[in-house]
Amino acid sequence: MQIFANTNFDFLGKRKLAMVVSIVLFVLSIGALATRGLNLGIDFTGGTLIELGYGKPAELTEVRAALVNKGYGDAVVQNIGSAREVMVRVPPREGMTSATLSNEVHMALQQAAGEPLELRRVEFVGPQVGQELLENGGLAILYALIGILIYVALRFEYRLGVGAIVALIHDPILIFGLFALFQWGFDLTVLAAILAVIGYSLNDTIVVYDRIRENFRKMRKATPVEVVNASINQTLSRTVLTSGTTLLVVLALVIFGGEMIRGFAVAFLIGIVVGTYSSVYVASAAALALGISKQNLMPVKKEGEGEENLEELP
């Protein structure tokens, strides 16, 4: 299905402006990370996990309000198994043991509920474990980027590989920067969303690169800018349909998905917008800046083979 036919938008005519915008956003994101840092969740900082059993379905908004009133506004609350089972994750408190912390939370929620609550489980997650998760998550992103660079360089050409990596570094840094700037909670679900964004953005970039390689072989008299522009226009319908439908689903998760999945949904929502932009204005523009040309992508001719099989477009 095509919603755009025979378009001829001059995307790359604005590539210098887009480059300035990308550099400014990138620098601001690095600055936010350096000055404010990420608001790490209990997955990375460690803390106490408390599982409680209610006699009737628990309203999570009321549970959170009770914890805020007792000074535990940074606690994470979610249902597990059923609406009567609630898990509370509280970051570590200086000078308080896990047992003391769990008793205070238990008593506070019991008073708010007006009924006895069953204390089913208390676990302590040490900061060493959280630090290990953070380091492993960072390594996962790094290894993914290295693997993608190798794959794209082998499948296409190293200039396109570098362009793809520039875009894939650009996307997560902007997400990190926004989470640091607004101090949104950063946990394992957000890290999973960033890894998903890397794959999503790469998929969009690969589609454009495939068309660029094909058009360099067909549009033999066109300039590199004209070839890349034509390729982006030819894949525009696919990009809009894919990004648009995914955006609708993720937007529904942001609005209706609940507190526990909101971080993932927000990170993915930002990633879809940024990834779609970067596949056009970062990956393709970077390949042009590195000097991609017809000679780089033309197949090696066998001895005696002519060029009659290559179709020349007007």
pLDDT per residue over 110-123, tens digit each?
888 888 888 888 88
pLDDT tens string 167-209: 888 999 999 999 999 988 888 889 889 888 888 888 888 888 8
Name the fold adopted by 47-125: Alpha-Beta Plaits (3.30.70)
pLDDT tens string 82-97: 788 888 888 878 777 7
Give the Å distances, CA to CA, from 79 to 87, 162, 310: 6, 44, 61
**Which H helix or E strand runs over 80?**
strand 76-80
CA-based radius of gyration for the chain: 25
Q: What is the pLDDT of residue 309?
A: 47
SS3 content of the chain, % helix, strand, coil (to 5): 65, 10, 25
User: Which residues have CB under 8 Å from 156's CB, separation 6+?
Assistant: 209, 213, 297
User: Is there a common fold for 11-38+129-297 and 47-125?
Assistant: no
How many Å apart are CA 88 and CA 74, to the nearest integer?
10
Closest CA to 209 of 118, 113, 279: 279
Q: How confident is the model at residue 277 (pLDDT cuts 50, 70, 90)?
A: very high
Average pLDDT, the chain: 83
Domain ranges of the chain: 11-38+129-297, 47-125
Q: What is the pLDDT of residue 32?
A: 95
pTM here?
0.77
Q: Which residue has the higher pLDDT, 272 or 140?
A: 272
Q: Classify residue 81 by its DSSP letter.
A: S
Query: What's the CATH code, domain 11-38+129-297?
Result: 1.20.1640.10
How many Å apart are CA 196 and CA 175, to the nearest integer?
12
How many Å apart are CA 52 and CA 106, to the nearest integer?
8
Q: Classify residue 301 by its DSSP letter.
A: P
Q: What is the pLDDT of residue 177?
A: 94
Q: What is the pLDDT of residue 312?
A: 44
Q: How confident is the model at residue 272 (pLDDT cuts 50, 70, 90)?
A: very high
Q: How far apart are the first and last CA of the chain?
A: 25
Q: How confident is the model at residue 25 (pLDDT cuts 50, 70, 90)?
A: very high
Task: 110-115: list long-range contacts, CB under 8 Å, 24+ apart.
Answer: 111/66, 112/62, 112/63, 112/65, 112/66, 112/69, 113/54, 113/58, 115/54, 115/55, 115/56
Least-confidence region, from 31-40, 131-140, 197-206, 292-301: 292-301
User: Which residues have CB under 8 Å from 60's CB, separation 6+?
Assistant: 77, 78, 79, 86, 259
Q: Which residue has the higher pLDDT, 302 or 65?
A: 65
- Is the pLDDT at 314 greater than 60? The verdict is no
The tokens of 158 are what? 């190293």
The tokens of 61 are what? 């908004």
**Given the DSSP bridges, would you call strands 185-186 and 39-40 parallel, antiparallel or unpaired?**
parallel
Closest CA to 268 of 208, 177, 189: 189
Closest CA to 283 of 223, 173, 203, 175: 203
- Is the pLDDT at 311 greater than 50? The verdict is no
Contact yes or no for 183/266 (Cβ under 8 A): no
How many Å apart are CA 30 and CA 152, to the nearest integer?
26
Contact yes or no for 114/41 (Cβ under 8 A): no
